[in-house]
Chains A and B, each alone.
Chain A
């Protein structure tokens, strides 16, 4: 069981958030000098595992040992002193500081007469820079560096502290091909020098190519651990989703009429680097799902439709008429609503009651006398009670604080809000994230009752199984573009995953 040359050992690591297990009983060994891949779908527990290692999140139970010594968990300082370094996608660098200052940030510095002696302090940093082949002067400000160069600064920072393991989160997400190649060769050099790399990525080809061993996480569990060469991409995808292709007859079919005028038309919409010319239609009563990986541009597209941001190019039509909302209120005014991914921080007024949260977008209809601003307590109560019953929201009463409800019921209350407001198009971003299977089913029922009411529905979900169960039609996005569209029996988890990684007309011979 125990690897002979293990640098880092994780045993029985378990963590739950608000009753949901994000990580359960995870065991993992990282051998000195290996490149270890960590893969899994969104929400599989990769980030939780990394955060526990970094000391940012405190696990509920389990042990972490490094070089045989137990790590004091929950302390970023302890993790750093134990030789663990972490490079997140956002690259925590101070833009105004030079590369050198960033590499030495937080590290003890040599002093002379009580002042920092930069020359002596920077010896190690310069050595690290040489080791990974940094060619730009270390006196350059980070704000003037490219993303690839910033990565080098982060790696140099880790080496300056003599890290024995560096965890990298989606390192190639914003790198070009040649830049990625450069990074890979640095990783290989570090590995042969005895530095371990924990490589987290959605790009399965890279992982298969680069990593000595690969650990697959699913639903918080480690489900597979494979040596290089023992898995191919197809096997890896299967390990990530957990089972073979779901048979089409398991799916419930809906019969949305797509012959009339679409409720929403998106035409060649682009926004910065995230959305690169997307066109699609949503029809009344239809559940259209947007599949794809995190960072494919789906949330950004949703924000553009809901008026949170305005597109750089392209346009929208709502029921055949031009639709260019300048803000969220205007979009809602025309019947377009967004149920955000961050339910608690962006959807709910947590201090308020269930009834308040349901009624807040339909206050005009709850007035005592139309035209006067006074609200009728009776109308408000009846509307909230009706919707609580209709969507079977489990709450001891409508006056209860919404914060005391479970995630699934909070989500249903948000759907009730828009059912009450009579909106025409509703966008749901990750509607069932962080809720259990039973609640997910009920959320799906609520979404269907919206669709039955003739509302057009756009669902964003990274849960492939959810897309396959819920959607009438699936459009998969990849790197800001539509990579393919699936309807009817073609909607399978395997096809969605395939399109998430390749375009429909992608490289030959790569289809799973």
Chain B
């Protein structure tokens, strides 16, 4: 056998001319989203300086971003372990209905209603996890199937929006501003992001999640209980969707069937945009936050500069395709590296 450099790819000499295509790919796959976000902020600020870049509007953006960020960071966990969850939007809607129903129909106290709602959401995540890991049904099918069923179950629970009998204390959860005049959902978002970031990066289970998503065979042979790790990820996604559903109903002051369905696409777009942020094609919490902000700034800016409403779905769908494309590109760059 021949002698070879022990560190493999280190042999690239300093004298070699810069490979601009490679550099461009690297830059795009790491910082493209952040540059895009800053550009969007700059353009909208220039177009509507006094309206877009005002404290009130920036808080508005953050507030709108916070619910999406909570669903999306839960969804991030399922993608970290190499699965995904198409039910998060439906779970958000379903729990949004259930949580006010428990107060209004069943007359439960607020705290107990919320506790039940979060438990049901987590349980739904566990069902998804079981279907995927134990019954071995492909995640697309099982989560879409469960989500669709939830729509029907929600309808049978209450065919009409529930608006009566909701205590003011409940609506003040989302509508209130406890500190510095910042809307409460922003604090929920920060809390969830911090906790999920710590779990993913600083605990055993987070390391194991990354191993399962990185190389499931290797993870198995490393003694990791792959199924349990995936269950945890699905349960987290379910919990986050339930929390979003609760906050959404509090914000709307009612429980409306289908109110949260739209979070599915937003969350997916955000998570994929995030995977093309800072790290090459890896799903991570900070990236997801950047993805959510891109969406929120985009929606808000388009509305402010007076783009017609039909532009919104075009923007949303386009961003989703762009996000997945960039994520794929980033991964390909990482693989070639």
Contacts and interface: CB of A to CB of B under 8 A. Distances in A.
Interface of A: 19-21, 219, 306, 308, 327-329, 331-333, 337-340, 342, 345-352, 356, 359-361, 363-364, 367, 373-375, 394-396, 403-406, 408-409, 417, 421, 435-438
A101 B198 CA distance: 57
Given A219-B1, A404-B10, A436-B3, A346 B217 contact: yes
A329 B219 CA distance: 9
A21 B225 contact: no
Interface of B: 1-10, 198, 202-205, 207-208, 210-211, 214-215, 217-226, 282, 334, 337
Nearest to A377: B202
A349 B3 contact: no
Contact of B4 (A19, A329, A342, A359): A19
A421 B223 contact: yes
Contacts of A351: 214, 282, 334
Contacts of B223: 328-329, 331-333, 337, 361, 421
B2 A405 contact: no
Contacts of B218: 345-349
Given A329-B224, A346-B215, A346-B221, A374 B6 contact: no
B337 to A, nearest CB: 8
Nearest to A220: B1
A356 B207 contact: yes
Contact of B204 (A306, A308, A340, A363): A363
A20 B5 CA distance: 11
Contacts of B208: 360, 363
B203 A375 contact: yes
Contacts of B3: 436, 438
B1 A352 contact: no
A350 B337 CA distance: 11
- Among B9, B198, B219, B220, the one with the most A-chain Cβ atoms within 10 Å of its Cβ is B220
A404 B225 CA distance: 28
B9 A404 contact: yes
A21 B1 contact: yes
Contacts of B5: 19, 406
A437 B210 CA distance: 34
Given A332-B222, A364-B204, A349 B6 contact: no
Given A328-B223, A394-B6, A436-B1, A375 B204 contact: yes
B146 to A, nearest CB: 26
B205 A20 contact: no
Nearest to A343: B218
Given A345-B215, A349-B211, A349-B215, A375 B7 contact: no
B8 A405 contact: yes
Nearest to A410: B8
Contacts of A333: 223
A62 B56 CA distance: 70
A349 B214 contact: yes
B203 A374 contact: yes
Nearest to B331: A351
Contacts of A421: 223
A395 B207 contact: no
Contacts of A328: 220-221, 223
5 contacts: A21-B1, A329-B226, A347-B218, A360-B211, A405-B7
Nearest to A364: B204
A408 B220 CA distance: 22
B221 A340 contact: yes
B7 A394 contact: yes
B4 to A, nearest CB: 4
- Among A363, A367, A374, the one with the most B-chain Cβ atoms within 10 Å of its Cβ is A363
A313 to B, nearest CB: 24
Contact of A406 (B8, B198, B215, B221): B8
Contact of A338 (B9, B10, B221): B221
B4 A374 contact: no
A406 B204 CA distance: 28
Contacts of A352: 210-211, 214
A350 B331 CA distance: 12
A310 B109 CA distance: 52
Question: Which 6 A-B pairs have CB atoms at the shortest separation, nearest pair first?
Answer: A332-B223, A436-B1, A349-B214, A363-B204, A346-B217, A373-B203
Nearest to A372: B203
Contacts of A345: 215, 217-218
Contacts of B226: 329
A335 to B, nearest CB: 10
Contacts of B4: 19-20, 406, 436
A437 B221 CA distance: 27
A43 B317 CA distance: 50
